[in-house]
């Protein structure tokens, strides 16, 4: 497995307890045209996962704007990217990969589960990031928002390999 590769995983294979709860909450919300409203999210039900929430506005099939990055996501990213526009065609790898996942949600109009192993650095530690990406209606009543939650866990095997090489 190459560090940093995005692995699309069947939604039924969600592993993290907080992500499972968020998915069940999304499934329980009332839907219009197949999508719940982002304003219907009960933050009390997902409060332990809030630092790992990231939300995006859909500006078009290839373009998205970061609406919100939770504190843990900001820490992993190295800075707050709120307001930053992501494009699938970007030459910046992290930006184009994230926009590519958002495009997959845009096309599928269904929840998507991804896993990244070793590609996210938290200081000097490699982590596994499991992320659930969910489509929502925005204020205008159309599918215009994607809200994601991630779960972070350390990856000892990558840290050991890096330590041995250094």
DSSP string, the chain: --TT-EEEE-GGG---HHHHHHHHHHHHS--BTTB-BGGG--GGGGGGGGGGEEEEEEEETTEEEEEEE-HHHHHHHTS--TT-EEETT-SSHHHHHHHHHHHHHHHH-S-EEEEEEEEEEETTEEEEEEEEEEEEE-TTSSEEEEEEEEEEEE-HHHHHHHHHH-
How confident is the model over 152-165, as pLDDT tens digits? Answer: 987 765 544 444 44
pTM of the model: 0.88
pLDDT given at position 156: 66
Q: Does domain 6-26+46-165 have CATH number 3.30.450.20?
A: yes
What's residue 43's pLDDT?
Answer: 93
Instruction: Give 121's pLDDT tier (boundaries 50, 70, 90).
Output: low
pLDDT of 119 reads: 59
Domain residue extents for the chain: 6-26+46-165
- 112-132 average pLDDT score: 78
Q: 21-49 pLDDT, tens per residue?
A: 999 999 999 999 889 999 999 999 999 99
The mean predicted confidence, pLDDT, of the chain is 87
- Per-residue confidence (pLDDT) for residue 73, from 0 to 100: 92
């Amino acid at each position: 497995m190459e560090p940093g590769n995005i692995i699309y995983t069947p939604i039924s294979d969600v592993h993290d307890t907080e992500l499972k709860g968020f998915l069940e909450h999304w499934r329980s919300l009332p839907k219009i045209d197949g999508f719940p409203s982002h304003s219907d999210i009960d933050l009390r039900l997902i409060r332990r996962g809030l630092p790992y929430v990231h939300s995006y506005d859909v500006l078009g099939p290839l373009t998205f704007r970061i609406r919100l990055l939770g504190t843990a996501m900001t820490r992993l990213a190295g800075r707050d990217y709120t307001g930053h526009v992501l494009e699938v065609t970007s030459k910046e790898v992290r930006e184009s990969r994230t926009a590519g996942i958002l495009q997959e949600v845009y096309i599928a109009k269904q929840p998507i589960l991804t896993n990244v192993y070793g590609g996210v650095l938290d200081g000097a530690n490699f982590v596994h990031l499991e992320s659930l990406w969910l489509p929502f209606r925005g204020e205008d009543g159309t599918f215009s928002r994607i809200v994601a939650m991630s779960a972070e866990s350390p990856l000892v095997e990558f840290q050991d390999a890096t330590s041995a090489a250094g």
